[in-house]
Structure 1
């Protein structure tokens, strides 16, 4: 530390020597002599009254203060350098975020833009603080200011685009809401008049209401059926049934207490058909807390009481195993229920493959009456009953089915119809009308599907 002090003293001492009057130099204040080695040695005597000792002390203090200040400023520079590195890294990340906004602004909301704007203001304040602290300007600061300004403009512009997109979304939402209202009006137009058959027949079906894939969560279970009891006993009005298989065979049924339990696949009972009581085909129904299905051996009708688990069977001598609906094999006996009771449809050799409609006596489990229709079973996709009228369906294309035939058991009159409706998928194995809701239940290639039925009451 002596060297800086001596260096600082030189400019002080030199002027002090210059202030000594010339006469003092000549009056003995300066002496000369010859040294031991023959060199010339000059001796200068400066009077105490002329030496600025107080200034030397002051300069020493100033020197200490300057050294301390330099150390403080160096610490500040190190601190600012660290902060600058951190904020430059954050500024780089912010640049990336703005670039992402530019490429996919639709995925951001107003809050994202506001946060970006706040961060940009913080960066602007930081740059100003650094410049003021260093009391200088440089191309680096100018570049930072320019970058922050440009990013602010981009964010403002992107927010404008976002507001535009938001308006588009609002417009699309309004259109969707309008469609939903129209759909609701359509559903209201299908408001059922339960039990009333004072009409001239089916006018139309609603759009398909696809619930979900089957309870096995397996698209391979394309054979089966689902629905509700068409004459529920007290306490089971909300019960649903379901059964599905990978082949056209029937070996178990699942019961669900209500619609929510059906969706959650939480059954309260599982009926596994014992050996000798297995079924075939998929045109079974639940009526009066009893399942009616087609038996294998011997070929005939079977019913299972869901309360007592008691089985019973009957054979229809004329029914043939040679005729089935076009979408699946072994659909020989098709059970149905409507406002007038319980039915079964089949084809015989005598009818040459045309559907024979039979009214069942629920107590005796026998046939009460029969009608021959003009609908070929193998050309039909399925058939069902509603208010004593048999309706047969057929395929129009992959996504469209139509009710093409009707047979009225009261008048024995048959009609050609053209009532088209949408299918969720091409093939279905179960289609049944439920009079307690005036709905059609369809098992469509592994999915639960239903339709509201609208009758012509004019």
Structure 2
């Protein structure tokens, strides 16, 4: 506000008007020393606030963008919820079948149902937390899952004698299969290393969510022994966490125990031996993993004996594109044990090194033309290193190979589907010719077809 002082000479025509009649609103009047009329006028600041209007326009634009994001998120959650409801109805049908003819099912069926119900509970919890709301729809989902769990528990003890007989017969059959596997003539199937390499991968086989049922456990992996001891051909190893550290390795005797999340052994890594990064390999009953930036560690599964070696040139400046701290990548194939890394001298390009398993040291190495930070991951098969990269959100491709036997490099294009966009682990196993992927917390595998 500002004031303007007006000095008006009082004309004879106005001299009769009292001074009090001039005072109104923002105008005040008084009589000067010489008889003149002095008016004080208070006028508002009429400058247009352009900066304020511009600021409000920016805020309005940001709010509009945020509203659109939230609307798209709600549409996405609505689609997910429809899928969950459809799957839940299928589970309801299976429970009804069990309820009508419980004597025709074995204990494993009930365990699998329990696992699926726990997964549904975890998924609904995740969805509810993402939406940050409470509604009758979510409450009804929780109630239905709880009721189905109670029905499964009741059905399992409905005819306990029949289930026990079936369980015994199933155990006998499993024992016969294990005896066949331990026969001296039994040999694990290995990849055909006489051809020209990998030709294609199958569609992803999504097994299930990890052992902790934790969607946040996105760093880690699962694997089989690439050179198993007799009697451990069917063993699986799993280790993961919500950050790029590994605190525990869980061991499962076979695939069914992996599905049931029934580990026969848990190796808790003590202080000073905890894993860093997501890449590890299992070979000859030992787990090879990265301890610090350039330290490769070895854990003997049987005696829980630890050992380590330093690869001095391995750099902490380079990791795969999907996650950090993956400096040493271990792999086991038909030709032995390997470690893949990058160094400052190679300017971030991948280096393949062969490990002497007895001496636990590097005996040979090969340089590549692949920048590690551009690769999604790498693995070994038949002495050939294969590197992958992203094509789009749902497609990955093997784009490069290096044959350590001949030194020949090839640029490839072998596309394959991804279950979800990012993964932290990819490892080939020669005993079953499969690629094992840890894809955003899920166990995923691929069949590998050689040329």
String of CA shifts for 1:81-113, please: whole Å, max 9, x gaps.
xxxxxxxxxxxxxxxxxxxxxxxxxxxxxxxxx
Give, in angstroms, the shift of residue 193 of structure 1: 5.8
Structure 1 match to 2:208:
212
Match of 2:235 in 1: 239
Equivalent position to 2:366, from 371, 382, 387: 371
Shift of 1:275: 0.8
Q: Among residues 336, 340, 347, which one is paired with 2:342 in the alignment?
A: 347
Note the C-alpha offset of 1:411.
1.1
Identify the match of residue 316 of structure 2 among 321, 334, 343: 321
Q: 1:258 matched to which residue of 2?
A: 254
Partners of 1:194 and 1:283 lie apart in 2 by 22
Shift of 1:195: 4.4
- How far the C-alpha of 1:447 sits from its partner, in A, is 0.3
Residue 417 of structure 1 aligns to a residue whose secondary structure is strand
1:410 shift after superposition? 1.1
Separation in structure 1 between the aligned mates of residue 370 and residue 210 of structure 2, nearest angstrom: 31
| Alignment partners' CA distance in 1, 2:429 and 2:219 | 20
State the partner residue of 2:156.
none
Note the C-alpha offset of 1:361: 0.1
Contact 2:191-2:450 at 8 Å conserved across structures: no
- Which of residues 375, 386, 396 in structure 2 aligns to 1:380? 375
Partner residue in 1 for 2:193: 197
Matches within 5 A, 1:231-310: 231-296=227-292, 299-310=294-305
CA distance, structure 1, for counterparts of residue 288 and residue 262 of structure 2: 23
In structure 1, the partner of 2:421 is: 426
- After TM superposition, give the deviation of residue 354 of structure 1 in Å: 0.3
Q: 1:406 aligned to 395, 401, 405, which one? A: 401
Q: In 2, Cα distance between the equivalents of 1:300 and 1:374? A: 24
Where do 1:15-414 residues align within 5 Å?
194-296=190-292, 299-414=294-409
CA distance in 1 between counterparts of 2:327 and 2:290 reads 8
Aligned to 1:282, the other structure's residue is in SS state coil
Q: Is the 8 A contact 2:222 2:438 kept in 1?
A: yes
* Counterpart residue number, 1:446: 441
Query: C-alpha separation between the residues in 1 aligned to 2:230 and 2:353?
Result: 28
Contact 2:280/2:288, CA 8 A, preserved across alignment: yes
SS in structure 2 at match of 1:426: coil
Change (3 A) 1:193 1:237: closer
Structure 1 gap segments, 5+ residues each: 1-191
Bigger CA radius of gyration: 1
- Name the TM-score, length of structure 1 as normaliser: 0.57
SS of the counterpart of 1:260? helix
1:299, distance to aligned residue in structure 2 (A): 3.6
What displacement does 1:194 show? Answer: 2.1
Instruction: Please give the secondary structure, in 1, of the residue aligned with 2:373.
Output: helix
Correspondence for 1:60: none
Contact 2:197 2:450 in 1 (8 A): yes
May I ask how many residue pairs the two structures share in their alignment? 264
Deviation at 1:328, TM superposition (A): 0.3
Aligned to 1:32: none
Q: Describe the SS at the equivalent of 1:194.
A: coil
Question: Shift in Å at residue 279 of structure 1?
Answer: 1.3
Structure 2 length normalisation: TM-score? 0.58
Measured in 2, the distance between the counterparts of 1:410 and 1:271 equals: 36
Q: Residue 294 of structure 2 contacts residue 328 of structure 2 at CA under 8 Å; is this kept in 1? A: no
Deviations 1:57-88 (A, max 9, x none): xxxxxxxxxxxxxxxxxxxxxxxxxxxxxxxx
Q: 2: distance between equivalents of 1:401 and 1:427?
A: 10
Stretches (4+) displaced over 3 A: none
SS, match of residue 446 in structure 2 = strand
Secondary structure of 2:277's partner?
strand
Deviation at 1:196, TM superposition (A): 2.7
Give the whole-Å Cα distance in 1 for the aligned partners of 2:287 and 2:406: 30
